[in-house]
Amino acid sequence: MQTKIDIILVLDFGGQYCHLISRRVREQNVYSEIVPHDISPEEVKALNEKFNVKGLILSGGPSSVYGENTPKLNPGILEGNVPILGLCYGHQILVQLTEGKVESSNCKEYGIAYVTVDNPVGVLEGLSKKEKVWMSHGDTVCSLPSDFEALAHTNNCPVAAFRHKHKPIYGLQWHPEVIHTENGNRMLHNFIFNVCRCEANWQMENLVEKMVQELKTEVGEGKAIIGLSGGIDSSVSTALAAKALNEKLTAVYVDHGFMREGETEAIRETFSKFKINFIVVQAQKRFIKKLEGVTEPECKRKIIGEEFIRVFEEEAIKSGAQYLIQGTIYPDIIESGFSKNSDNIKSHHNVGGLPEKIEFKKILEPLRELYKDEVRKVAKMLDLPNELVNRQPFPGPGLAVRIIGLLTEEKIRIVKRSDKIVREEIEGAGLAESLWQYFAVVTDTKATGVKGDTRAYGYVVAVRAMESREAMTASFAKIPYDVLEKISTRITNEIPEVTHVVYDITHKPPATIEWE
């Protein structure tokens, strides 16, 4: 008989970092899943049939506990004996439910803060008196019910951490899951192993097995097609699906005309070796026609998302497939505002860009729980070639979201050539491995220049290079000036329509990685 594994449930209150919590737990070799914020005690009990539910973490969220229609915790959850850790909004909701006091604070804290640890016990065991943490809150816990005690404070926040005096319930106003909280992993480790008494009995391999098995079960005797864009996510999904379905799978690569130079050939070369059906659809004309006159970024994304589906539906009829598999990963979902309580940042083509009516029995997304670096780990486990594992992420709508304003043939040509130059110079300088992404954007701005003693009036191209672990936050890379100089010189020399090259020095947040 197979023994049950331990699990920590993360209750999703809509925070941008909700999934990071789950992932940080998995990094400590304990399984974790995200569940709705209003899960009932009965549902937790039902999950106990399959797993040992050892703890609950309440995520942060964008709401104020006093707002209208804000996500609430089922009060029955507090009656059980399962340990609970509330983070940020989760910390406040625990206090509000138990009749403590949460107030909107004049001194809101966003970013790095220093907390004073007054009582280093439980989740805070082994920590120093002063800890560097990541805060992001407007409301503040002002007083606690008598069964609770404060464990830490900041200058603006009298109860930055608390515990229940008799039950394993803790709250932290900060985000231990974010890397900027220096000892965040230690805090989560304390909760997982000292408070919840979990066993580290989960491996990434279990997840690969689970994903392959789920695809086999879902598709059964049917057939599936998969959208292959050439980025790491869709490539890994294709490799997983190939393992589960073999010739019942057709991989469809849609060339919408916004691919990087050499992309189609590279994809053809890699995937023609798999034991699946692989087809390339030349769809440049239909995409450009649909995008004629469109400038608004979300509109572009939605049109591209819909057109992708229409192509897939046509290909599904030809191959007899009932299922569509997509390479959606977790940040695509959260940024498209698809967690019940989170805000829409941008519509990722394969999530928020989907049309309402879709002619498929079901869309399957085997990687939807994972972050990019976890996807890379899966790629290694599947023995995918290095050039695939190390590819930089590439958005499904392709270069279309790197052309600001109207998508003209001229701008498409410029972005393709600039992108190739950026890639060649960054890779030539040996910087690629340390970067998350590096690319060029054609802005909608023109500026005056002088080329060969004559006045020129041309496009401003922006170069962007980012460092990141999972794309939820990212920093612009401090590329050496000589490399930037080479990029700038080559772009202005080799592309006559460009007069200026600028380097984007904005982190995410407040910017996003892609310009649209």
Give the residue numbers marked as catalytic.
Answer: 88, 175, 177
Cα dihedral 367→368→374→378 (10° resolution): -10
| β-sheet bridge partners, residue 132 | 114
Nearer to ligand XMP, 284 or 512 (CB): 512
Query: Within 470-499, which residues bind ligand XMP (CB under 6 A)?
Result: 471
- Of 149, 120, 142, 117, give the one whose Cα is nearest residue 132: 117
399 binding ligand XMP? (CB under 6 A): no
Q: Which residues contact 28 (CB under 8 A, 6 or more apart)?
A: 185, 188, 189, 192, 193, 200
Task: Pick the piece of the chain touching ligand XMP (CB under 6 A) from 49-57, 63-71, 250-258, 388-396.
Answer: 388-396
Can you state the angle between helices 409-428 and 481-494, rounded to 10 degrees? 150
Residue 174 contacts residue 86 (beta carbons within 8 Å): no
CB nearer ligand XMP, residue 77 or residue 513: 513
The correct pick among 24, 349, 376, 391 for binding ligand XMP (CB under 6 A) is: 349
Three-state DSSP state, 233: helix
By CB under 6 A, the residues from 185 to 244 that bind ligand XMP are 231
CA neighbor of 270 nearest in space, from 243, 283, 251: 251
User: Measured from the CB of residue 391, what is the shortest distance to ligand XMP in angstroms?
Assistant: 11
User: Which two three-digit tokens encode residue 433?
Assistant: 């491995």
Interface mask toward ligand XMP for 277-316; x: CB under 6 A? ----------------------------------------
Dist CA 25 CA 19 (whole Å): 10
Nearer residue to ligand XMP within complex by CB, 231 or 458 = 231
Binding residues for ligand XMP, total number by CB under 6 A: 18
- Cα–Cα distance list, 305 to 258, 273, 290, 372 (Å): 13, 28, 11, 21
Question: What are the backbone dihedrals phi and psi of residue 336, each rounded to the nearest 5 degrees, phi first?
Answer: -85, 5
Contact call for residue 422 and ligand XMP (CB under 6 A): no
> What type of residue is 195?
V
Using the structure block, give the residue that is written with the tokens 């950026």.
Answer: 422
Q: Is 365 in the site for ligand XMP (CB under 6 A)?
A: no
Q: Taking CB under 6 A as the rule, does residue 348 contact ligand XMP?
A: yes
Stretch that binds ligand XMP, among 50-58, 108-116, 160-168, 505-513 (CB under 6 A): 505-513
CA distance linking residue 161 with residue 396, whole number of Å: 42
Q: Would you say 263 or 332 has its CB closer to ligand XMP?
A: 332
CB atoms within 10 A of CB 320: 11
Asked whether position 393 contacts ligand XMP by CB under 6 A, the answer is yes
* Chain CA centroid to CA 67, Å: 27
Segment contacting ligand XMP by CB under 6 A, of 111-119, 252-260, 329-337, 441-449: 329-337
Nearer to ligand XMP by C-beta: 187 or 226?
226
Based on CB atoms, which residue is closest to ligand XMP, 194 or 512? 512
Span near ligand XMP by CB under 6 A; candidates 153-161, 195-203, 240-248, 328-336: 328-336
Q: In the complex, which residues of this chain contact ligand XMP (CB under 6 A)?
A: 231, 331-332, 335, 346, 348-350, 393, 395-397, 437, 471, 508, 512-514
